[in-house]
Amino acid sequence: MEALQLYNKNETYNGLYVMLMVNRLQMLYFFLIMPRFLIHPYMIWVILAVGLLSQLNLLLLSKWFSTGFSSKGYNGFVQLFGKKIVRILSFIGLFFILLKLFVVMLGFSEIVQIFMFPSTDSNWIIFFILLSCWYVAGKGVEKTIRFVVISFLCTFWMFFFFAFFFLPPIAQLSDLYPIIPMEWNRDSWKGIFLILSSFSGPEFLVFLGPWFKTNNKTFRYLSYGNALTVIEYVFLYIASLLYFGSNYLSKNQFPIVNMARYFQNPIIERIDMVMVSLELFNIVFAVSIFLLMFYAASKIAFGKMEKPSSRGGFLYSVFLIFIGMILVNEWIWKSGEKQVILLNLQILAGSLSYLVVPIVIIMIMKIKGVNKHGTAKEKG
Amino acid sequence: MGLRKKKAKKLAIIFIALWLTGCAPFTENNIIEEIAPITFLSLSKGDEGKIKISTIIPPLSKEEKSVMSQEVSLLKEGVREFNLNFYQEIKSGQMRMLVINEELGKEGIMSIINVLLTDPDISLRIYLVIVKGNFEEYLETQLDKQENLDYSFYRMLKHYEEKNQGELTVVNLHEFKNLLYTRYSDPYLPVFKIENDAVSYEGTALFQNDKLVETITSFNDRIFQLLNNDHYLKILPIPELEVVLGHVRSNTKVDIDTSLSTMTYTVNIDSRIEEYRGEKQLFDPKDLEDLKKDIQSNLEKQTQELVKKMQELNVDPLQLGIHTLKPFSKPMDEKKWIELFEKMDIKIDYQFNIEPLTDSNAKS
């Protein structure tokens, strides 16, 4: 088997790529179903608050990027944690990556199935999407990171369309009342974690450190990406409140896509179909990145780091994920009640990973007394 | 390179085999010659709780058209029955209208609305229309004379929807659904009457939840357009005063007192007199003032009666309830609002701003 240059590093990408990646990784799947769980108008404030929290997280992440460790990649982590712990951590990481992959992929293929190919088996849709992800990921990390530009250009402008819902006769200010929380229950907590989980994603960037040109401006770019996400979330959420009204929002499975169905254009009648197809670029980008991470993490976890990455090995891991997805799709995702379990799991796992990863890294760095240049002080 | 080519060949063979053996994952066939994208469905009450569902087939091709009807117990079953009786397959992606018979509307149309909402093929912009009379019969008699009957009907609705022209009520599926599901509001739909081989606009049907309870017609319907639907009327004839107001623009304001027992409904109107055939001399400022007062009291009286009727029927198409919503207080329970609304003392107050433009009696 010929050796594959999946993880080669020939060039580094500047802050702009960091910004686009933060933003696109936060706009994957959850934002499409978010309004259905948030329901109440006061959740607008919660989105803003969680956005600020996410900003703090990014501050911690940028601290990591400013050390020399981040650019060393795997070796950096080994220096910091020790080989054994890195292996254990990547084993745990596999679970998080898999869960995210499953939810994003199954969720989106369900949307494609419902709105575009209702008579097609969703397993086929998973197959085709995964096939393109495998192709993109097969080009290596560098090209995949570059792909974020295409994914961003294909998708970011879509939220401007939703400005249409801010105009009368659809917009009524009373749809946004009451604007402060009058009661607080379990669903509201779930809403907070859902938002946090949708903001998660940038924590995976710590593993892509070697490919980024990091400097003291990195935090700025991370923040730009995050701020753009906050704007998009709030914008889409207010639009959905105006369009559906609080009462109907919880009854709608895919609020954002259903809103897109209301757009009209004399030339293309089903604009929603075009939008869903373009959104696929974003999914393909994210899934490709996660596929590469999964392969690398499994190599670390099983102690095969020294072996060169091979086409066969990568194909094998993608194939395993594909089989896993088909099984999860058949056993869990297709039945609504069980799907909720998986969603809840991802809501928790996403929030957890987003909160814990930066904190743990910073704590270990503090304990080991790392300075800016990435050298640990000798103890004592 | 050779290895790669071989691989590509292998992959290609696998794909071709999949496709040729019929394992293709896309089972829907949308070849244009073989499908019939219907433009509307007409629903009416059938025997024994069934629904009679009709449409014009074929909707597109230049073949001779005919009206096809089926009596079924479920809406989607009807579409299947059509397929069994016609060589083309019915597709609902181009549906533009849903015509519901008045009798069916009185029984409630929630289930029909939900069917439409869950089908991603059916646009949320389809128009909902209530008809009085036998629409199928009308189609059958008119089809010979007017081939594109359904299309012209759709164009008419679209024309009046587009710029809120203020002539007729036009409601699409999304708007209906929102009024149905939003708290403190009830939906309404346009009503068309079939009489002597012609369809004419009659007024607005008021719904209590999903059940049709009342149709408001003629002058009441005009007021309804002014208060709620379009806030604009091209002309507003008031026959009792022998006057026609033109380009009537309205601006409504609702005030509810803190005890929630009285509501003041203020309507500001900008308009001009377009025609007058009465006795008053409109050049005389005093007479003009009198006429204004007459118009004002006339409209106030009529509106009062209309709102009273809504209160009696317990319907709220004007969405008066949403004015109880405040940014910083808990929304009222819907049942409580209904109780309050029934008893509420609603005061109507018209504020006029009329420009006298023409006066047919001036030089006589």
Q: Do B178 and A244 touch (CB under 8 A)?
A: yes
Cβ–Cβ under 8 Å, residues A12 and A211: yes
Nearest CA in chain B to A116: B120
Contact B158/A at CB under 8 A: no
Which pLDDT does position B2 carry in this prediction? 65
Residues B208 and B268 in one domain: no
Q: Pick from B14, B27, B163, B210 the residue to mutate for testing the A interface (most A CBs within 10 Å).
A: B27
What is the domain class of A15-368 according to CATH? mainly alpha
**Secondary-structure percent of chain B, ordered helix, strand, coil, rounded to 5:** 40, 30, 30
How many domains are contained in chain B? Answer: 2
Which pLDDT does position B173 carry in this prediction? 92
Cβ–Cβ under 8 Å, residues A111 and A261: no
Which pLDDT does position B360 carry in this prediction? 45
Given B26, B182, B326, which is nearest A245 (Cβ)? Answer: B182
Q: Do A245 and B25 touch (CB under 8 A)?
A: no
Which pLDDT does position A101 carry in this prediction? 94
Confidence grade of residue A152 (pLDDT, cut at 50, 70, 90)? very high
Given B25, B123, B164, which is nearest A261 (Cβ)? Answer: B123
Q: Do A178 and B323 touch (CB under 8 A)?
A: no
Give the orientation angle of helix A141-155 with respect to helix A122-138, to 10 degrees.
130
- Which residues of chain A are within 8 Å of residue B329 when distances are taken between CB atoms? 178, 182
Residues B50 and B118 in one domain: yes
- Tokens 């401007």 belong to which residue? A160
Contact B110/A at CB under 8 A: no
The domain of B195 spans: 32-218
Q: How are strands ordered across the β-sheet holding B232-238?
A: B232-238, B243-256, B262-276, B345-356
Between A269 and A88, the more confident residue is: A88
Q: Which two tokens stand for residue B274?
A: 């377009």
The pLDDT of A170-199, averaged and rounded, is: 87
Closest CA to A33 of A231, A227, A194: A194
Residues B266 and B158 in one domain: no
Q: What is the pLDDT of residues B160-206, one digit of tens each?
A: 887 766 778 889 999 999 889 888 889 999 999 998 778 899 999 99
**Residue B196 within a domain:** yes
Q: Which two tokens stand for residue B23?
A: 């394992």
Given A115, A172, A178, which is nearest B120 (Cβ)? Answer: A115
Q: Containing H/E element for B356?
A: strand B345-356
| Lowest mean pLDDT across A152-161, A281-290, B58-67 | B58-67
Residues B199 and B284 in one domain: no
Residues B170 and B63 in one domain: yes
Residues B71 and B123 in one domain: yes
Which pLDDT does position A74 carry in this prediction? 86
The pLDDT of A125-151, averaged and rounded, is: 92
Residue B8 one-letter amino acid: A
B131 beta partners: B101, B192
Residues B181 and B317 in one domain: no
Q: Do A177 and B182 touch (CB under 8 A)?
A: no
CA atoms of A29 and A279, how far apart (whole Å): 10
Residues B239 and B98 in one domain: no
> Within 10 A of A118 (CB to CB), how many other CB atoms are there?
13
Q: Pick from A131, A174, A240, A246 the residue to mutate for testing the B interface (most B CBs within 10 Å).
A: A174
Half-sphere exposure at residue A13, Cβ-oriented, CA atoms within 13 angstroms: 21
Q: What is the pLDDT of residues B59-103, one digit of tens each?
A: 777 778 888 888 888 888 888 888 888 888 888 888 999 999 999
Which pLDDT does position B130 carry in this prediction? 94
Contact B162/A at CB under 8 A: no
Distant-in-sequence, close-in-space partners of A120: CB < 8 Å, separation ≥ 6 = A113, B25, B26, B27
Q: Which two tokens stand for residue B357?
A: 């433009």
First to last CA, chain A: 49
CA atoms of A225 and A205, how far apart (whole Å): 13
Q: What is the mean pLDDT of chain A?
A: 88
- Dihedral through CA B305, CA B309, CA B312, CA B318, nearest 10? -110
Give the orientation angle of helix A30-38 with respect to helix A43-65, to 10 degrees.
140
Distant-in-sequence, close-in-space partners of A216: CB < 8 Å, separation ≥ 6 = A66
Contact A117/B at CB under 8 A: yes
Classify B119 as helix, strand or coil: coil
Considering chain A, what percentage of its residues have pLDDT values greater than 70? 96
Q: Please list the ranges in chain B whose pLDDT falls under 50.
A: 359-360, 362-364
Confidence grade of residue A380 (pLDDT, cut at 50, 70, 90)? very low
Q: Exposed (0-12), middle (13-18) or buried (19+): which is B309, by Cβ within 10 Å?
A: middle
> Within 10 A of A231 (CB to CB), how many other CB atoms are there?
13
- Which residues of chain A are within 8 Å of residue B28 when distances are taken between CB atoms? 117-119
Cis peptide bond N-terminal to B58, omega within 30:
yes
- DSSP for B33-96 reads GGEEE--EEEEEE-GGG-EEEEEEESSSSSSPPEEEEEEESSHHHHHHHHHHHSSSEEE-TT--
Q: Exposed (0-12), middle (13-18) or buried (19+): which is A278, by Cβ within 10 Å?
A: middle
Residues B96 and B137 in one domain: yes
Cβ–Cβ under 8 Å, residues A45 and A192: no
Q: Do B329 and A114 touch (CB under 8 A)?
A: no
**Going by DSSP bridges, is the β-strand pair B40-45/B51-57 parallel, antiparallel, or unpaired?**
antiparallel
CA atoms of A100 and A328, how far apart (whole Å): 13
Residues 26-65 of B with CB under 8 A from A: 26-28
**Residue B204 within a domain:** yes
**Residue B14 within a domain:** no
Contact B308/A at CB under 8 A: no
Closest CA to A22 of A225, A209, A291, A214: A225
Classify A184 as helix, strand or coil: coil
The pLDDT of A351-368, averaged and rounded, is: 89
Cβ–Cβ under 8 Å, residues A239 and A37: no
Nearest CA in chain A to B182: A247
Residues B255 and B324 in one domain: yes
Contact B328/A at CB under 8 A: yes
**Three-state secondary structure of A303-362:** CCCCCCCEHHHHHHHHHHHHHHHHHHHHHHHCCHHHHHHHHHHHHHHHHHHHHHHHHHHH
CA atoms of A195 and A230, how far apart (whole Å): 10
CA atoms of A176 and A172, how far apart (whole Å): 8
Half-sphere exposure at residue B15, Cβ-oriented, CA atoms within 13 angstroms: 9
Q: What ipTM did this prediction achieve?
A: 0.85
- Dihedral through CA A175, CA A179, CA A182, CA A186, nearest 10? 80
Q: Which two tokens stand for residue A119?
A: 């008579």
Q: Which two tokens stand for residue B7?
A: 């691989």
Contact B323/A at CB under 8 A: yes
CATH at B338: 3.30.300.210
Which pLDDT does position B18 carry in this prediction? 64
Q: Do A180 and B328 touch (CB under 8 A)?
A: yes
A258 beta partners: none
Among B170, B197, B218, identify where a domain stops: B218
CA atoms of A277 and A128, how far apart (whole Å): 13
**pLDDT above 80: residue A155:** yes
Classify B268 as helix, strand or coil: strand
CA atoms of B164 and B177, how far apart (whole Å): 19
Q: Exposed (0-12), middle (13-18) or buried (19+): which is A181, by Cβ within 10 Å?
A: middle
CA–CA distances in Å: residue B360 to residues B48, B233, B357? 59, 22, 10
Chain centroid to CA A7: 21
**Residue B363 within a domain:** yes
Q: What is the pLDDT of residues A293-338, one digit of tens each?
A: 999 999 999 888 778 888 888 999 999 999 999 999 999 998 888 8
Cβ–Cβ under 8 Å, residues A294 and A321: yes
Which pLDDT does position B363 carry in this prediction? 47
Among B183, B218, B253, identify where a domain stops: B218
- Dihedral through CA B304, CA B305, CA B311, CA B315, nearest 10? -100
Which pLDDT does position B25 carry in this prediction? 63
| Lowest mean pLDDT across A101-110, A353-362, B279-288 | B279-288
Domain ranges of chain A: 15-368
